[in-house]
A and B are shown apart, each in its own frame.
Chain A
């Protein structure tokens, strides 16, 4: 028996139920944007723990460094300078996998077991099963997975599933110096968020709130936003993310429909042959051909 902490509740390209007898506690990471100072210690800790080293790039004139997520950058601070009611606000969002309860990457993945969702809610890529098609990118509502240019496998934040499996918090949470990052059961994180939101509201952020989007059945990485009514202010955080209807069609209806049609044509052909027999040349036609040849 595998460790309970590694029990799997969903597995890519798998059509039968996963073992579900044990009830695991759902975990979550809470990112309190109002307490983040943008020090990037979480980015460094992520690289340290996961042994990632990106190429040294160029400064594009903003603090975002590197410029985007990639196979070596699983979490990235995105800085937005917002002018709101004549005041400058510096919104700093730690971007990375949201660990959706309804993961679009997993739904789109064609390789059995390349993407799994543990019973605790963590969505993890098993690169040894990844074929490099990039369907996970197509399926993700948050634009998170990245294909490596070197090995052509897809990578993203694992929520330090290896650490969580042995009762540790993710490396980014462990290292955060301001207490902007928290990790625990999803319920505990929601409770903590409630306190933070109440505090923010008392300080004048009347629209403060929790980002736990229902369109993907909630996420296992949640944000406390000062302006929960405008998630797009935070470097384009989607307002109402959900798996695209195109992905639903492609990975839902199209599959049984296509298999059904192919099976129907095969069976119809077989039984047509059995019932009607072959379309062979009749004796009359043979005679007519002889007649034609003589008159030629």
Chain B
């Protein structure tokens, strides 16, 4: 029973991280229907930026964290400005190819700067964040990831429902010409969605880095893990991204715990196939019915 509870809690906190990573992916897809293959790289860049600020520049953690978020926000903005804006109006396949190119470029730069080693953050999380009781022990980082996941879920829910920028984003996702005719600044919406996506990706990168250590290859592979998560939850759904993340996270930890650690990475994809057979549009995706 204690083993089960421990796995459950680990699964939930890992799941929130996957959900958080997927959230950024969904933001971009929602506003511009672009599948961002460079998402794992954004996750890794966030973690490395934080690492450099904390270890090399010796900036206190509480300051380094907002600095990292601001930096990645700016990076997302820049990516949209420099690489994606010239492609507005071009066929979607070009844009998707471009994100593939961005992925290898960023990965190359990171390998060049930091190499393929495994780094560790200094231990900075206070121990009062941990939880002990009922025979289980939850390390502080798992409490942190759950909290961060919940906070961002609520923040984004409010952002999309009530803020005018959030409403603009939804209108652009729904019908771009209509949004244009109402005077929505579509370019700004695209830029903002990339910036926010990079920010949440960095966020999940930092926390994942605390759990597993920081390594270019490990962190960028999260970009691939995002696919089962978002397809499971439905490509356009924020809530679906979080729930998909939780399901994948739980599946992983339970397979690792009860079956075999080597099956961990396979099971999510197997379940993905089954779910797509039953609900091809994901759990919360838009069911598109077109009259012919």
**B partners with A:** no
